[in-house]
Structure 1
Amino acid sequence: MELREIEIFLALAEELHFGRTAERLHVSQARISQTIKKLERQVGAPLFDRTSRRVALTPIGAGLRDDLAPAYRQIVGGVARATDAGRGTGGVLRLGFEAPGVADLVTDVLDAYRSQRPDSDVQVREADFRDPFGLLRGGEVDAMVTLLPVTEPDLTAGPVVLTEPMVLAVPMRHPFSRLDSVTLDDLARDTVFRAARPAPPYWVEPPEPWTTPAGHPVRRGRVLTTFQELLAAIAAGEGICPLAAHARQYFAHPRITFVPFRDAPHAEWAVVWRRAGETERVRELARVIRSRAG
């Protein structure tokens, strides 16, 4: 039984008139009659009592109507919701952020998206530090803004939404705290933490051996599992850590100083989405980001 046949049957069961049903569905009365006869052959019993004066459901027809109507409404509603999401018609763009502070730094982009899609809004979610792509892969967000690089086979790395310099987080009494700036070679002068992220591995561990541009070896700090744990270790004098510059504003700590790098590559934050979950809303966000970059 095809969906169109179910639609015709349910419409006739409601209208109880071949002419009105044909007009409602924009088909001929002959098509209505042929479809009902086909269904009756398939069921093996009449679904309607038809006379020259009236059309009425048989008991079997009424039972079939009661069984099919809820399922039909659910199917049609599901297809409509999926179509709206795919086309970006109304609704909410759910956007995850690996670093919540970055959401404040790209408000101009989000405002531009809202102006392009006045029937939509943006709902911001913070990603779990221990599982940065969990919300995305679980379908809880449509896209997310995360630090590059991203080389996941199931994810598409879209345009860069924010570029910012790097700083070195050091204890307040560290010799570097009195400097105006540092270099990547200065990393060899202390124990260095990485902003620990359990996955993917290319975010966590640099190539072996970890050396500075001049070839000096870098001592690795112990493994840390949360950002607050990282800040506590730096404040306690256990080591230092390169971070994106927004950390100065959003993670200010009375016992930590953030010193600018002179030669470190800038951090790049990009919008990322599931290859199998690309919708018109996501494409529109990417277009807005590209247009502002251009």
Structure 2
Amino acid sequence: MDLNLRRLRSFVTVAEELHFTRASSKLFVTQQSLSKQIAQLELQLGTPLLQRTSRRVELTPAGQAFLATARATLACFDQGVSEARRIGRGEHATLRVGFIVGAALELTTHILSEFTRRHPEARVELHEFGFSDPSAGLAGATTDVAFIRLPSSTHGLAIAPLFTEPCVAGVSTAHPLSSRERVCVQDLLGEPIAIGRTDDTVWHDFWTLGSHRGSRSAQNVVETHSQSEEVEVVAAGMACNITPLAARRYSPHPGVRFVPVDDYPDSIVAVAHRVGQPNPLVASFVEAAETVRERESLIVRMIQGTPDPD
């Protein structure tokens, strides 16, 4: 389906304003022309996107679903236009790299160095995101490529896994489980669980042991706003947390002990980008990350907690 960008922009503007007069003024077109653009888009899609009365404009369920796609498409196109113009003026190309706490762990510096070696003319912008956005800016199109941790919602994203990492339980040193060498999920199901506040249900489910609770969701969840806050909550004995093995190296705390969880799946760290990403530097960044993953096999084994080969 060949969708007209002008029609997409018209729809997004009306959806945001919910008022044809304001939208037409913002787009510098007549209301008649704007209505025609919306009608043609609805005809192409085969479904109404807006419900219009003499008093109000509302999105239909189909319109609500399509709005996110339309916004992302326009954001990608606009970014591509800006990047092309910038390069055409002789300015440096820019790659916006998102990450959450830990990024790609000990591989991060090697990946960034490999990419800048390949593209010394490119400018790299690093943007850190909290657990509230596990996509590290990709969902809102504020980054071009990102280090993300799975499982999380990945709709519309291309994923290149880098390594897997065992999960551990963070418990207060005063907690009875802190004396154990290993625990299993059953030991943790009755415990309060600390997790960063997020709307990503896939992410939330994994880090609260949701897949092991049957039809029941975690009842005693302590939501936090940052990694450091989560560690302090655990140290105070207010909750346990499920976290990657790297927490032992990146978030040590004298009041917290990290105990391996025997029967829980590994977490995956990946480099990701939006499908159809127009920035040509993205593919090169992914290639650099995969090259480093293969080259730095000793670091990968250390991250994964696997012994060196004999």
TM-score, normalised relative to structure 2: 0.57
Identical-pair percentage: 27
Tell me by how many angstroms 1:291 deviates.
3.4
Give the AA of the match of 1:269. V
Counterpart of 2:22 in structure 1 is none
Q: In structure 2, what is the equivalent of residue 280 of structure 1?
A: 280
1:220-272 per-position Cα deviation (integer Å, ceiling 9, x unaligned): 42340313442232222222111011212222222111112233222111122
Listed as ranges, the gaps of 5+ residues in structure 2 are: 1-79, 295-310
Q: Which position in structure 2 is the counterpart of 1:199? A: 199
Q: Which amino acid aligns with 1:174?
A: H
Who is 1:157 aligned against? 158
User: What is residue 235 of structure 2 aligned with on the other side?
Assistant: 235
Q: Could you say what secondary structure the match of 2:137 adopts? A: helix
What per-residue deviation string (whole Å, max 9, x for no partner) do you get for residues 7-47 of structure 1? xxxxxxxxxxxxxxxxxxxxxxxxxxxxxxxxxxxxxxxxx
For residue 9 of structure 1, what is the aligned residue in structure 2?
A: none
Q: Structure 2: how far apart are the matches of 1:231 and 1:147?
A: 18
- Equivalent position of 1:59 in the other structure: none
**CA displacement at 1:128 relative to structure 2:** 3.4
Matched with 1:173 is 174
Q: 1:105-158 CA deviation, whole Å, 9 max, x = no partner?
A: 4221222222222222433211133334473344432111111134443x3132
* Match of residue 118 from structure 1: 120
- Bigger CA radius of gyration: 1
SS in 2 for 1:243: strand
TM-align CA RMSD: 3.5
Q: Which sections of structure 1, spanning at least 5 residues, go unmatched?
A: 1-77
| Residue identity opposite 2:177 in structure 1 | F
The one-letter amino acid of 2:173's match is M
* Conservation of the 8 A alpha-carbon contact between 1:195 and 1:243: no
Task: Give the Å deviation of 1:279.
Answer: 1.9
Aligned positions, number = 212
Asked if the contact 2:134/2:149 (under 8 Å) is kept, the reply is no
- TM score, norm. by length of structure 1: 0.60
Deviation at 1:166, TM superposition (A): 1.2
Matches of residues 129-140 of structure 1 in structure 2 within 5 Å? 129-133=131-135, 135-140=137-142
- The residue that corresponds to 1:17 in the other structure is none
Deviation at 1:164, TM superposition (A): 1.9
Please tell me whether the aligned partners of residues 106 and 162 of structure 1 are also in contact (alpha carbons under 8 angstroms).
no
Q: For 1:231, what is the secondary structure of its paired residue?
A: helix
Match of 2:300 in 1: none
Counterpart-to-counterpart distance in 2, 1:210 and 1:79 = 43
